[in-house]
């Protein structure tokens, strides 16, 4: 399938070593199987997979070092399930939004992407603000309700409500909508 869609995976490479990190880890574990399946579907459909991940204060574009370092934290079980491979894009971000201080927008233009599927943590911070920056730049958005997690479930739902209302995003579960369905609908 040829498409102009990409999948963003936000901040899954995460030490979780901060206040509230245990809650976030528990909620993230719940979504990992669905995220893994989504990533697998993306790869089978030749939809580019782009990790967009906090730089954890390293400020250097040495991704391999970052992953090794972050794995020492309590987020290790999530990282092991969603570890990036070298044929996937990996972009470090210095702040909340994946578009602020990164080459993400330029990469997406080069790949001729017009539609973004966004999965990640935390739903009420980095996913929300990346989605907003994507919306302002004109991307169509699908932020599946079952592939983002926050420290508190109520906050994740609130954020999804804003994403749906304010950014006119699709938030259908990946259990009801496949990437193939999404791309077909957008093309109409």
């999948």: which residue's tokens?
A: 7
Which listed residue (21, 94, 172, 186) binds a copy of itself by CB under 8 A? 94
Residue 61 binds a copy of itself, judged by CB under 8 A: yes
Site string for a copy of itself, 108-147 (x = CB under 8 A): -xx-----------x-xx--xx--xx-xx-x---------
Q: Could you give the CA distance from residue 113 to residue 115 in angstroms, rounded to a whole number?
A: 6
- Nearest-Å Rg of the Cα atoms of the chain is 15
Which backbone phi and psi does 66 adopt, to 5 degrees? -60, -45
Residue 37 binds a copy of itself, judged by CB under 8 A: no
What sign for the dihedral angle of Cα 69, 72, 75, 78?
positive
Which listed residue (12, 89, 139, 142) binds a copy of itself by CB under 8 A? 89
Question: Please, what is the minimum distance in Å from the beta carbon of residue 52 to a copy of itself?
Answer: 10
Residue 162 binds a copy of itself, judged by CB under 8 A: yes
Say whether the peptide bond before residue 122 is cis (omega within 30 degrees of 0): yes
Question: Please, what is the minimum distance in Å from the beta carbon of residue 11 to a copy of itself?
Answer: 13
Question: Please, what is the minimum distance in Å from the beta carbon of residue 121 to a copy of itself?
Answer: 12
* Torsion angle, alpha carbons of 116, 84, 88, 184, to 10: -30
Q: Which stretch in 24-32, 33-41, 86-94, 112-120 sits in contact with a copy of itself by CB under 8 A?
A: 86-94
Which listed residue (2, 19, 59, 112) binds a copy of itself by CB under 8 A? 59
The answer to whether the beta carbons of residues 74 and 21 sit under 8 Å apart is: yes
Question: Please, what is the minimum distance in Å from the beta carbon of residue 92 to a copy of itself?
Answer: 5
Q: Which stretch in 10-18, 22-30, 89-97, 174-182 sits in contact with a copy of itself by CB under 8 A?
A: 89-97
Residue 72 binds a copy of itself, judged by CB under 8 A: no
Report the DSSP beta bridge partners of residue 9: 51, 119
The Cα angle at residue 108 between residues 135 and 145, in degrees rounded to 5 = 50
């Amino acid at each position: 399938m040829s498409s102009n869609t990409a999948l963003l995976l936000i901040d899954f490479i995460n030490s979780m070593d901060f206040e509230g990190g245990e809650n976030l880890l528990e909620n993230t574990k719940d979504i990992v199987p669905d995220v893994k399946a989504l990533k697998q579907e993306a790869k089978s459909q030749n939809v580019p997979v782009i990790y967009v991940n906090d730089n954890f204060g390293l400020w250097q574009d040495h991704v391999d070092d970052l992953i090794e370092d972050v794995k020492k934290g309590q987020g290790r079980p999530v990282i092991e399930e969603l570890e990036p491979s070298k044929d996937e894009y990996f972009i470090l971000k210095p702040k909340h939004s994946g578009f602020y201080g990164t080459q993400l927008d330029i990469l997406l233009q080069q790949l001729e992407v017009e539609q973004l599927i966004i999965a990640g943590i935390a739903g009420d911070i980095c996913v929300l603000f990346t989605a907003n920056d994507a919306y302002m730049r004109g991307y169509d958005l699908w932020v599946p309700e079952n592939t983002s997690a926050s420290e508190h479930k109520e906050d994740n739902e609130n954020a999804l409500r804003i994403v749906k209302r304010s950014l006119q995003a699709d938030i259908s579960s990946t259990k009801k909508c496949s990437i193939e369905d999404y791309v077909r609908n957008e093309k109409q």
